[in-house]
Amino acid sequence: MNVVSPGPTDTPAITQLAPTEEERSAFFAKMGAGTPMTRAGTPEEVAAVIAFVASDAASHVNGADYQVDGGYGQV
């Protein structure tokens, strides 16, 4: 079994937590500030890792936890 563990990700559901564009930008800036990449991830970035894990390219990968979190788990 393999696991994909997303970190801060800019999704429509999270976008609804901030009512204005200004608040949304501040919210994501704060979320991303805690990561070495200094930004929240995108759904496409998380989906790319999921697609890899589900593909034949990962046929010999077992027991991996792919942290798609901009390096947050490393600090």
Asked whether 1 and 62 are in contact (CB, 8 A), the reply is yes
Check whether 13 has a pLDDT greater than 90.
no
Inter-residue contact 35 to 68 (CB < 8 Å): no
**Number of domains forming the structure of the chain:** 1
75 — pLDDT class (breaks 50, 70, 90): confident
Q: What is the pTM of this model?
A: 0.83
The 10s digit of each residue's pLDDT in 21-73 is 898 888 888 887 878 988 889 999 999 999 999 999 999 999 999 999 998 88
Q: How many CB atoms are closer than 10 A to CB 41? A: 22
Domain enclosing residue 23, as ranges: 3-74
